[in-house]
C-alpha cells in the first residue's frame, strides 16, 4: 500500500536475530554493538545498514543563542541579536560517524530515502527582540531533527566471537535540513544581581 | 543456471510446529500482527503485534534472560545469528519508505549472487498484493513476482534497500525469489 507511514518496523530484525540464536559451544563471548561497528569495513566481507521505517522528525529542545539584551533604559528597547548555532549528529554507540560504519550509514541513507544525510547544520540569524524597561531579552533556537533506526549486517570471512554473521541495532540522529526549525524570544525582569552587573 | 537448492516452499504448506512461537501468536493478519518472520525452507511463521512481545517470545525461544536481551538492544552485546544456522535473507514492507507491517524471511545461508535462484517463497494470503518496499539481506538480489512460486509479471533485481518497489509491482507481489 503506497502511502507514507512512520516507522512501525523498528527492531524487527533485532527480534528475529535474537529468536533463533543458539549460543554455540565455540561462541567466543558476545561483542558490544560498538565493537562490531568498529570492525565495519576492516576485515568484513559485508557491512550494510538496513533502515526500518521512515525517518522520524522531531523538534529538539530550544536552547538560548546569542547574547542576552539588558534594557537598562526607561523606555522600550528594540535590539538585534546576532547568533549562530551548529547542530551535529549523534548515534546510539557514541562513535564518530566519520568512521567506516558512518560512511556506510550515509550511503545507505541516501539510497534508502533518496536524499543526503546531513551531518551538520549551522543556522545564522539576526533576530529582533523587544525588551521593556528593566527586562532582559533572550533568543532561543530549537533545530528540527531526524532520527533513523535500523540494523547493521556484518559478514566476516572467519568466525568472529563465534559467528560469521552478526546483526547490530543502531539509531542515528542529525539535523533535518529544510524541515523548519523554531526561533523564539522571551523576556523576563532582570534580577537585582543582573541589574548591578549590567546596568 | 545453477541447480536450485531449495524445495518449492509455499506458505500454504506451513509446518509451524517447529517454532513454539506459533502457539502464542494470533493469525498473521497485518492489522493485528505487525511483524512476521518466516523460515523460507519450512514456511514456519511467527508474527508479533509489538516488539515487546517479540522480545518476550525470543526470551522463551533462546533461553536467554530478558535482561541480556535488553542489554543487546540498548547497545550492549549485539544480536547474533550464526551463518551456519539461519540468516536473514530479505525484509518486505507494507508501505514505502520501510513503513507499516513487515515480513522477514530467513534461510540457511547467504545468497551466491549469481543469476540463479537460491530461495523462493510464496507469501501467505494476507501478505499478497500489499508489498511496497523491500530490502535484500545476506548478499541477495531480490525479485518480486505477481504470481505464486515465482510466476507472473516480475520486477527486479533489487540489490539495495528499496524504499519503493515501483509502480509495476507495487501492491501486486504474490511471491519472491532471491539469488
CATH number at residue B20: 2.60.20.10
How far off is chain B from A37, nearest CA to CA, in Å? 10
Which positions in chain A touch B104 (Cβ < 8 Å)?
12-13, 16
pTM (predicted TM-score)? 0.76
Q: pLDDT tens digits for chain A (199 residues)? A: 544 322 223 334 433 433 333 333 334 577 889 999 999 999 999 999 999 889 999 999 999 999 999 999 999 999 999 999 999 999 999 999 999 999 999 999 999 999 899 999 999 999 999 999 999 999 999 999 999 998 899 999 998 888 888 888 899 999 998 778 899 999 999 999 999 999 9
Kindly state the helix (H) or strand (E) to which residue B35 belongs, with its residue range. Answer: strand B35-39
pLDDT in tens, B106-115: 888 888 877 7
B24 within some domain: yes
Contact B78 A32 (CB under 8 A): yes
Q: How many folded domains does chain B comprise?
A: 1
Angstrom CA distances, B161 to A122, A150, A152, A166, B25, stand at: 30, 11, 12, 18, 29
Grid-cell match 518476550, residue found:
B56
- The verdict on B78 touching A (C-beta cutoff 8 Å) is yes
B70 within some domain: no
B71 within some domain: no
pLDDT of B57: 47
- Give the range of the structural domain holding residue B128, as residue numbers without chain letter: 11-49+81-178
pLDDT category of residue B50 using cuts at 50, 70 and 90: low
Which positions in chain A touch B85 (Cβ < 8 Å)?
20-22
Q: Which positions ≥6 away from B125 have C-beta within 8 Å? A: B11
Kindly state the helix (H) or strand (E) to which residue B66 belongs, with its residue range. Answer: helix B66-73
B122 within some domain: yes
pLDDT in tens, B132-152: 999 999 899 999 999 999 999
Whether residue B2 has pLDDT greater than 70 = no
How far off is chain B from A109, nearest CA to CA, in Å? 9
Mean pLDDT, residues B54-61: 41
- The verdict on B171 touching A (C-beta cutoff 8 Å) is yes
Contact A53 B135 (CB under 8 A): no
Amino acid at each position: 500500500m503506497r502511502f507514507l507511514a512512520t516507522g512501525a518496523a523498528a527492531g524487527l530484525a533485532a527480534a528475529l536475530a535474537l529468536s533463533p540464536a543458539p549460543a554455540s559451544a565455540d561462541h567466543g563471548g558476545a561483542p558490544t554493538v560498538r565493537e562490531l561497528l568498529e570492525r565495519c569495513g576492516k576485515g568484513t566481507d559485508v557491512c550494510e545498514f538496513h533502515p526500518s521505517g521512515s525517518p522520524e522528525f522531531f523538534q529538539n529542545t530550544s536552547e538560548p543563542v546569542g547574547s542576552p539584551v539588558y534594557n537598562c533604559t526607561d523606555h522600550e528597547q528594540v535590539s538585534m541579536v546576532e547568533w549562530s548555532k551548529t547542530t551535529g549528529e549523534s548515534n546510539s554507540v557514541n562513535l564518530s560517524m566519520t568512521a567506516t560504519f558512518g560512511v556506510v550509514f550515509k550511503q545507505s541513507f541516501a539510497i534508502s530515502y533518496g536524499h543526503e544525510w546531513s551531518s551538520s547544520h549551522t543556522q545564522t540569524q539576526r533576530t529582533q527582540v523587544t525588551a521593556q524597561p528593566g527586562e532582559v531579552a533572550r533568543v532561543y533556537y530549537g533545530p528540527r531533527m531526524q532520527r533513523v533506526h535500523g540494523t547493521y549486517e556484518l559478514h566476516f570471512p572467519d568466525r568472529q566471537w563465534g559467528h560469521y554473521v552478526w546483526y547490530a541495532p543502531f539509531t542515528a540522529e542529525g539535523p533535518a535540513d529544510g524541515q523548519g526549525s523554531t526561533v523564539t524570544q522571551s523576556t523576563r525582569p532582570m534580577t537585582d544581581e543582573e541589574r548591578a552587573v549590567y546596568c | 543456471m545453477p541447480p536450485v537448492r531449495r524445495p518449492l516452499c509455499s506458505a500454504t504448506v506451513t509446518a509451524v510446529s517447529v517454532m513454539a512461537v506459533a502457539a502464542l501468536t494470533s493469525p498473521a493478519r497485518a492489522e493485528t500482527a505487525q511483524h512476521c518472520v518466516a523460515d523460507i525452507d519450512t514456511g514456519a511463521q511467527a508474527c508479533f503485534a509489538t516488539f515487546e512481545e517479540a522480545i518476550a517470545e525470543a526470551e522463551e525461544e533462546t533461553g536467554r534472560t530478558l535482561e541480556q536481551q535488553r542489554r543487546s538492544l540498548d547497545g550492549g552485546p549485539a544480536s547474533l545469528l550464526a551463518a551456519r544456522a539461519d540468516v536473514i535473507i530479505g525484509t518486505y514492507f507494507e508501505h514505502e519508505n520501510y513503513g507499516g507491517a513487515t515480513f522477514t524471511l530467513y534461510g540457511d545461508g547467504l545468497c551466491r549472487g549469481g543469476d540463479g535462484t537460491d530461495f523462493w517463497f510464496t507469501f501467505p494470503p494476507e501478505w499478497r498484493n500489499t508489498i511496497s518496499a523491500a530490502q535484500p539481506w545476506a548478499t541477495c538480489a531480490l525479485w518480486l513476482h505477481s504470481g505464486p512460486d515465482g510466476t507472473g509479471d516480475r520486477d527486479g533485481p533489487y540489490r539495495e534497500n528499496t524504499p519503493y518497489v515501483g509502480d509495476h509491482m507495487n501492491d501486486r507481489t504474490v511471491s519472491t525469489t532471491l539469488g
